Amino acid sequence: MSTQPFIGAQEYFPGIGAIPYEGTGSDNPLAFKVYDAQKRVGGRTMREHLRFAVCYWHTFCNAGHDPFGPGTRRFPWEKGEPMATAEARVDAAFEFFTKLGVPYYCFHDIDLAPDADDVGQYEKNLRHMAAMAGERQRATGMKLLWGTANLFSHPRYMNGAATNPDFAVVSRAAVQVKAALEATVELGGEHYVFWGGREGYACLHNTDMKRELEHFARFLAAARDYGRSIGFEGKFFIEPKPMEPMKHQYDFDSATVAGFLHAHGLQDDFMLNIEANHATLSGHTFEHDLQVASDHGLLGSIDANRGNAQNGWDTDQFPTELYDTVGAMLVVLRQGGLVGGLNFDAKPRRESTDMEDLFIAHIGGMDAFARGLEVAHALLTASPWEQWRRDRYASFDTGDGKAFAEGRLGLADLAALATKNGEPAQASGKQERYENLLNQYLLR
């Protein structure tokens, strides 16, 4: 691995070196307070548990535009011409990854390379930029967590991509998925994501939902088959989101996607990538959607961000809420880790315009998850938390309760037992006891 502080001809983040771990006593905004890559928690290092990834789209392409105004951040890699910008951006990105000290990154086809309506030009652009990214991966040791195709920005996808009512658009979407899969394989990408941004509807009057969902499953199966044929061995992840940009999106939440995957026989190749802010948009907590995915054996990866408690939209803020990160890591640790990782699908606020804010935002997210990891690990291994949960269900461990759980008692048997046993004794749920225990460990 190179020791040079930057990759190309220019340093894009001058004055910022490798981000050190300095501990909670440090006031240095450009240092980790909790995330200490080599620190062991249980049997693994923090780096191995958390498998952090930086996303290409928000961090290097999103200058902070919103529906009311353009971007505010002046990226020094903007060269005024799309390919020159893409080439400068890849150097800036790898400089950023290296200085931050994350193992992974993620991209969409058209954040890495300029888009083009002409299929040949689009493919040429992506191949060129994937080759550049590959060189920089080899120079730095960085790895690709997942690749994906943007099937939602171009106007041709206004009525959906794989679920578009027009077959011409469905087949055009295949151009991008095929090329993005090829780029992912070329770059050794561990997984591949489908976020169905416009796979849904704006109006049910004009929509044959059943037909669209059948097409969606056909398209995903075709992508899987193509991926396997070119040597892709990772998981395909579906990323649920209930709405925005569409009124209704088919990958609504974990439960919906789990049902869809099973209904179409896709559950062996596909898992879920759960984004915190998407879970909250669907009316759940982040932890809820993680737990549902995990209970189905489908929790593969996480898009680490947070929403805003007062706003009902997808604000994609950096994760700093410790209750959220503890809750997430409880689910992750209980299932033995992630085949994917924690990708920061998050953007600094529009008002955060200094280049160092990109680092500060990621440092905060990494520290919040590192603390979540430590607290969740302690709760699971050194506190009575798991025993309390087990004790709550102890009546199913022996005797008649066990016979019921194993399917050996019918409804009449159950009713006869209740008649014999009389009114059940009251059993407190003890919610506050768990909440207090969590706080006690957070404060340690």
Residue list, annotated binding site for Mg(2+): 239, 275, 278, 303, 314, 316, 345
148 binds, among ligand XLS, Ca ion, none (CB under 5 to 8 A by kind): ligand XLS
Decide which of ligand XLS, Ca ion, none touches 163; Cβ closer than 5 to 8 Å per partner kind.
none
Residue (182 or 275) nearer to ligand XLS, CB? 275
Determine, following the binding rule CB under 6 A, whether residue 239 of this chain makes contact with ligand XLS: yes
**357 part of the active site:** no
Confirm if 198 and 157 have CB atoms less than 8 A apart.
yes
Which of 269, 336, 299, 45 lies closest to 288, judged by CA? Answer: 299
Q: Measured at CB, which residue is nearest to ligand XLS? A: 195
Distance (Å) of CA 78 to CA 88, 114, 373, 435: 8, 13, 37, 48
Q: Which is nearer to ligand XLS, 5 or 245 (CB)?
A: 245
- CA dist list (Å): 96 to 21, 27, 140, 160, 435: 16, 21, 11, 34, 38
Q: Considering the rule CB under 5 A, would residue 275 count as an interface residue with Ca ion?
A: yes
Assess 277 for contact with Ca ion (CB under 5 A): yes
- Interface map 51-90 toward ligand XLS (x if CB under 6 A): ----------------------------------------
Would you give the DSSP letter of residue 396? G
Please state, in angstroms and rounded to a whole number, the distance separating the CA atoms of residues 226 and 180: 12
111 labelled catalytic: yes
**Whose Cβ is closer to ligand XLS: residue 32's or residue 195's?**
195
Give per-residue burial for 380-409: e unless 16+ CB within 10 Å, then b: eeebebeeeeeeeeeeeeeebeeebeeeeb
Q: Does 325 bind ligand XLS (CB under 6 A)?
A: no
Residue 252 touching ligand XLS (CB under 6 A): no
State the binding string over 177-216 for ligand XLS (x if CB under 6 A, else -): ----------------x-x---------------------
- Shortest distance (Å) from residue 140 CB to Ca ion: 24
Q: Using H for helix, E for strand and C for coil, what is the string for 309-344?
A: CCCCCCCCECCCCHHHHHHHHHHHHHCCCCCCCEEE
What is the closest distance, in whole angstroms, from the C-beta atom of residue 281 to Ca ion in the complex? 8
Cα 202 to Cα 219: distance, rounded to the nearest angstrom: 21
Q: Which is nearer to ligand XLS, 253 or 275 (CB)?
A: 275
List C-alpha distances in Å: 360 to 70, 229, 367: 23, 41, 11
Q: Which does 182 bind (CB under 5 to 8 A by kind): ligand XLS, Ca ion, none?
A: none
Give the shortest CB-317-to-ligand XLS separation in angstroms.
13
Query: Least separation, in Å, of the C-beta of 148 and Ca ion?
Result: 9
Tokens matching residue 200: 């849904």
Using CB under 5 A as the binding rule, whether residue 316 contacts Ca ion is answered as yes
Among 314, 324, 367, 374, binds ligand XLS (CB under 6 A): 314
Specify burial of residue 225 (Cβ count, 10 A radius: 0-12, 13-18, 19+): exposed
* Contact positions with Ca ion (CB under 5 A) in 289-308: 303
Question: For residues 190 and 238, what is the distance between their CA atoms, to the nearest angstrom?
Answer: 15
Q: Please name the residues in contact with 100: beta carbons below 8 A apart, sequence gap of 6 or more.
A: 19, 54, 359, 362, 363
Residue 345 interacts with Ca ion (CB under 5 A): yes or no: yes
269 binds, among Ca ion, ligand XLS, none (CB under 5 to 8 A by kind): none
Strand partners for 148: 108, 193
DSSP letter at 58 equals: I
Active site members = 108, 111
Could you list the residues that contact Ca ion (CB under 5 A)?
275, 277, 303, 314, 316, 345
